[in-house]
Amino acid sequence: MIYSRIAGTGRYLPERILSNRELESMVDTTEEWIRTRTGIERRHIAADNQATSDLAEQAARQAMDAAGVTADDIDFLVVGTTTPDLIFPNVGCLVQRRLGIHGCPAFSLEAACSGFIYALTMADRFVASGAAKCALVIGAETLSRIVDWSDRSTCVLFGDGAGAVVLKPADEPGLLSCHLGADGHYGDLLYHPYGTSRPQKPEDTAQPFIQMKGNEVFKVAVKTLEGIVDQALSANNLERSAIDWLIPHQANIRIIQATARRLDMPMEKVVLTLPDHGNTSAASVPIALDVAVRDGRVKRGDLLLLEAFGGGLTWGSALVRY
């Protein structure tokens, strides 16, 4: 039996930091409101000459170094993103070219904030079936480009960044389980109103920015994430106490606290990077994982529960023996 395991992690956050205080001069908000209602203290914003693939490339290089692999080793490349550089080539192909990787499948997939968990699941299936021997999995976003900077209900939440992992085959698991889900019926709670093929109607007045019914998303997120946690544990016959680290999607401290309560887990066992970068959508879980690996909290052999929830609505979890 072949399993996949995480061989290396990496991340990249753009240099420019936008603090809560700076936002006070942009919209009608306060540093205190943002911090207490969301847990966010600052976010990183991509430079004018940086696109999603630039951020993804940096995170990928770190993950490849950490895993001790080169461009010649990578035989599967997937990027979770909602903010691709172009309609096509896809971000996977753009990153593939930058890294000097040739010939392997390279693609991006769109599942909003759940994009990394979706991408990790695809890569796991390829590695565990023997179809790939070294998969590069990236979550990368430049959400600052699709945020309305005059809308206080959304602009305080989002930031730019990228995270990546390299998956390799192993005799022991590795990725113990992945569970994905979606419910398109909730699509209008969180969406971007413009694409490429939907004909515009005269009554379409929405601006080309993220539209969100935050309060309603919040409620569905808390309920769904409780279900995800129970599903991952029962599929693996595990007690809540078996989990060493919860590595959640970093959207709102109150959503994360609710999930931790469901797991009976003290917040010291939750990897929380939200204050430093806000909601980076598909990038948030691999960024948090990389932070905890590099600062020594997450050690080989630890049991990690990764989970995410986002636009679509989409959700997913991965239970990982690191």
Q: Up-side HSE of residue 161: CA atoms within 13 Å toward CB? A: 32
279 in catalytic set: yes
Query: Is residue 153 within the footprint of ligand ACO (CB under 6 A)?
Result: yes
102 in catalytic set: no
Cα separation, 265 vs 243, whole angstroms:
9
Amino acid in position 299: K
Residue with token string 């305080």: 156
| Residue from 89, 218, 244, 294 binding ligand ACO (CB under 6 A) | 218
Give the shortest CB-153-to-ligand ACO separation in angstroms. 4
Strands 160-170 and 3-12 turn out to be antiparallel
Residues 6+ apart with CB under 8 A from 146: 82, 83, 192, 208, 209, 210
294-301 CB contacts, 8 Å cutoff, 24+ apart: 294/9, 297/245, 297/271, 298/244, 298/245, 298/271, 298/322
Tokens of 259: 């999930």
Which candidate in 113, 134, 155, 178 is catalytic? 113
Query: Is residue 275 within the footprint of ligand ACO (CB under 6 A)?
Result: no
Q: Which of residues 279-308 bind ligand ACO (CB under 6 A)?
A: 279, 281
Residues 6+ apart with CB under 8 A from 169: 2, 3, 4, 5, 127, 128, 130, 133
| Residue from 16, 37, 97, 297 binding ligand ACO (CB under 6 A) | 37
Instruction: Name the H helices within the chain.
Output: 20-24, 31-38, 52-67, 91-99, 115-128, 152-155, 214-235, 253-262, 274-277, 284-294
Q: Which of residues 172-211 bind ligand ACO (CB under 6 A)?
A: 190
Q: Which is nearer to ligand ACO, 153 or 231 (CB)?
A: 153
Cα separation, 63 vs 162, whole angstroms:
11
Query: Is residue 8 within the footprint of ligand ACO (CB under 6 A)?
Result: no
Which candidate in 20, 90, 249, 252 is catalytic? 249
| Residue from 64, 251, 271, 289 binding ligand ACO (CB under 6 A) | 251
Give the shortest CB-190-to-ligand ACO separation in angstroms. 6
Tokens of 302: 């630890």
Q: Which is nearer to ligand ACO, 101 or 119 (CB)?
A: 119
Chain-centre distance of CA 165, in angstroms?
12
Tokens of 119: 């991408």
Query: Is residue 38 within the footprint of ligand ACO (CB under 6 A)?
Result: yes
Q: Which is nearer to ligand ACO, 77 or 156 (CB)?
A: 156
| Residue from 197, 205, 215, 241 binding ligand ACO (CB under 6 A) | 215
249 in catalytic set: yes
Q: Which is nearer to ligand ACO, 107 or 218 (CB)?
A: 218
| x/- map, 98-137, ligand ACO, by CB under 6 A | --------------xx------------------------
Q: Which is nearer to ligand ACO, 215 or 234 (CB)?
A: 215
Query: Is residue 257 within the footprint of ligand ACO (CB under 6 A)?
Result: no
| x/- map, 41-70, ligand ACO, by CB under 6 A | ------------------------------
Size of the site for ligand ACO (CB under 6 A): 23
Strands 76-80 and 106-109 turn out to be parallel
By annotation, the residues acting in catalysis are: 113, 249, 279
Given the rule CB under 6 A, which residues bind ligand ACO?
Answer: 29, 33-34, 37-38, 112-113, 152-153, 156, 190, 214-215, 217-218, 221, 251-252, 255, 279, 281, 310-311
